[in-house]
Amino acid sequence: MRNFGGELKPLVFLAFASAWNRRLTLGLMAVSIGLSVMLLLGVEQLRTQARESFSQSVSGTDLVVGARTSPIQLMLYAVFRLGDATHNIRWSSFEAMAEHPAVAWAVPISLGDSHRGFAVIGTTTAYFEHFRYGDRRLLAFAEGKPFVDIFDAVIGADVAEQLGYRSGDSIVLNHGTGNLGLTEHADKPFMVSGILKRTGLSVDRSVHVSLEAIEAIHLDWQGGAPIPGLSIPAEFARKFDLAPKEITAALIGLKSRAGVFQMQRFVNQYKGEPLLAVLPGVALDELWSIVGIVEKSLLAISALVIAVGLSGLVAVVLAGLGERRRELAILRSVGAGPRVVFMLLAIEGLMVVVAGSVLGVLGLALLGLFAAPMLESHLGVSLATGMLSPEAWRLLFLVMATGFAVSLIPGYRAYRLSLADGLTPRL
């Protein structure tokens, strides 16, 4: 046994055999560490993918244009339907932007009305042709088709599911946003012409109509209220000039991304009225940084769970040292020194941590196979399965390194016990 302490391979086999004799206890610890690792890596993967999906809410749009305000506020109401615009954009200004030589397409958006708590969006059919999300995916119809008639409406997946609508159903829009005390445009009902597939975005919670429809339902309105004694039925509304006067915002796609800053300057310096053009990616990153405290809190909680799991491993191994003094004494009797005993306990702890880490990665992969479709359909988060992000790999190696470090604690304790037993004569 002269070379026993200098050979790592026999130590690994011996540590495995010793751990196998206590496989139930250590197996439970490995499962506990595995669950902790799965939680930590799952939070990291979900955080990374959620951030990417968040930044790709309008992945095919080069500029979002609205009235002069803060970039975050513009993105909130133009993309996420949160809050209200302070001012509108004149239609002539939108036409000037759409006709700019650098612009490939422009989609107008008009907000301000609702249907039973869901936002109503006035737009054109170009919205369904050019709006992209996620990995540059186009909107798709679960049933029906885009609006053709003035009083056609295309609804999102959440609207259809929560209100039980199908193609061909009749709906009535409300003037203003909110849920209570809103006046209905009851004299001009709409027919559901199509239902969009779920995207996980604000599109699912929106009712889409034409810009002409927005003008039609407000023909007999002035100053945000119906004109007393005046009511224009739907069949007569078609005879009026329904060309839009104002819109809320616009999504713009350029022929070449190289000209994005030039187009942004054109909009921001537009002399017709004060406008603001923002790059969606930059504004969304700024918005994400505001809510970033949430992701950091989740990672901190996961790290605490890992710490609890590793602490449990140390406690279990330390508690079992008293029962293993006979085993360690036998090792000493055949020539194993205190350092060998130290390495043996450290290797055992590392084995449990590695086994738990492998279980955590496999568990996360299996969970991803089942959870990825649900996350994508309900939250719009495209969770990559079968691969870890670079940051997740770094966290995994950090966990294993920390596990090896804490396993040195029972190893050192065993070293001290072994040294004391070797110096104490046995009667």
Cβ contact 56:133 at 8 Å: yes
Pairing of strands 132-133, 190-196: unpaired
How confident is the model at residue 193, as a pLDDT?
A: 95
Sort residue 116 into left (φ over 0), alpha (ψ -120 to 50) or beta: left
> 278 or 287: which carries more pLDDT confidence?
278
| Exposure letters 388-421 (e unless 16+ CB within 10 A, then b) | bbeebeebbeebbeebbebbbbbbebbbebbbeb
The pLDDT of residue 416: 66
Q: Which of 169-178, 288-297, 415-424 has the lowest mean pLDDT?
A: 415-424
Q: How does the average pLDDT of the chain come out, rounded?
A: 80
Output Rg (C-alpha) for the chain, integer angstroms.
32
pLDDT score of 176: 80
Between 41-45, 171-175, 259-263, 381-385, the lowest mean confidence (pLDDT) is in 381-385
Q: How confident is the model at residue 355 (pLDDT cuts 50, 70, 90)?
A: confident
- Identify the pLDDT of residue 258: 85
Angle formed by the axes of helices 8-21 and 338-379, nearest 10°:
70
- Residue 331 pLDDT exceeds 70: no
CA nearest to 48, candidates 418, 389, 316, 342? 389
Helix, strand, coil % over all residues of the chain, rounded to 5? 55, 15, 30
The pLDDT tens digits of the residues spanning 398-425 come to 888 887 787 777 767 766 665 555 445 4
Give residue 293's pLDDT band: very low, low, confident or very high (50, 70, 90). Answer: confident
Q: How far apart are CA 112 and CA 214, in angstroms?
A: 10
Q: What is the DSSP letter of 119?
A: E
Distance CA 63, CA 209 (A): 22
Per-residue pLDDT at 378: 55
Residue whose structure tokens are 């133009």:
78
- Asked if pLDDT for residue 13 goes beyond 90, the answer is no
For residues 84 and 77, give the distance between their C-alpha atoms in angstroms, rounded to a whole number. 6
Confidence band for 1, pLDDT divided at 50, 70 and 90 = very low
Token representation of residue 46: 């979900």
Question: What is the residue whose two structure tokens read 């969006």?
Answer: 121
> How far is residue 188's CA from residue 68's CA, in Å, rounded to a whole number?
33
> What was the pLDDT predicted at 422?
47
- Most confident range (mean pLDDT) of 2-6, 79-83, 389-393 is 79-83
CA neighbor of 306 nearest in space, from 386, 348, 360: 360
- Mean pLDDT over 245-264 rounds to 92
**Residue whose pair of structure tokens reads 């305000």 in the numeric block:** 69
> Cβ contacts of residue 68 below 8 Å, gap of 6+?
87, 274, 275, 276
Q: What integer pLDDT is reported at residue 248 of this predicted model?
A: 95
> Looking at the predicted structure, is the pLDDT value of residue 2 above 50?
no
Instruction: Classify residue 259 by its DSSP letter.
Output: G
For residue 381, pLDDT beyond 80? no
Contacts of 300 (CB under 8 A, 6+ apart): none
285 band by pLDDT with thresholds 50, 70 and 90: confident
| 96-143 residue pLDDT tens | 999 999 999 999 999 989 998 899 999 999 999 999 887 788 899 999
Kindly tell me if the per-residue pLDDT of 210 is higher than 60: yes
Condensed to tens digits (0 to 9), the pLDDT of residues 182-208 reads: 788 888 999 999 999 988 788 989 999
CB 106 within 8 A of CB 94: yes
d(CA 220, CA 211): 16
